[in-house]
Amino acid sequence: MPELSRRRALTAAAALATASGAATLAAPAARAAEAGHHPGSSPAPFDEVYQGRRIQGRARSGGGHHDHHGAGYAVFVDGVELHVMRNADGSWISVVSHYDPVPTPRAAARAAVDELQGAALLPFPAN
């Protein structure tokens, strides 16, 4: 059996790091695909009460600044619009939980309610 050289150890470590990095990058897209949402599809509308807050999501009617980032989809918490954005991998983020991508706009609304901890959502000014 050949002796483990420094070159072979570094090659193995680089291959392992590359494989684990690729799996990490593919995870959000896999979660979105498992949830039945693909980057080109439109999410289903929803209207529910979550932790005592009314959350809604539906296709946006009309144009505007938000159509580009939210892929033509509007999300509301207690009637106030929650600014959401669809990422290239199909995951969604909101202005409230910007660094925690989720697979659907409904999950983004729920994450925002969790993060708000009972506080009111203030309107997000569009530039």
CATH number where 65 lies: 3.30.1880.10
What's phi and psi for 97, nearest 5 deg? Answer: -120, 65
Total H helices, total E strands in the chain: 3, 6
pLDDT of residue 51: 96
Q: Which residues contact 92 (CB under 8 A, 6 or more apart)?
A: 84, 85, 86, 101, 102, 103, 104, 105, 107, 108
Give the pLDDT score at 3.
74
Instruction: Calculate the alpha carbon distances from 55 to 26, 61, 93 in Å.
Output: 29, 18, 15
Number of structural domains, the chain?
1
Which pLDDT score is estimated for 62? 62
Q: What average pLDDT score do residues 66-70 get? A: 51
Residue 34's domain comprises 1-127
pTM, whole model, 2 decimals? 0.64
- Polymer length of the chain: 127
Give CA 36 to chain center in angstroms.
Answer: 14
CA distances in angstroms from 114 to 43, 108, 123, listed in the order given? 21, 10, 17
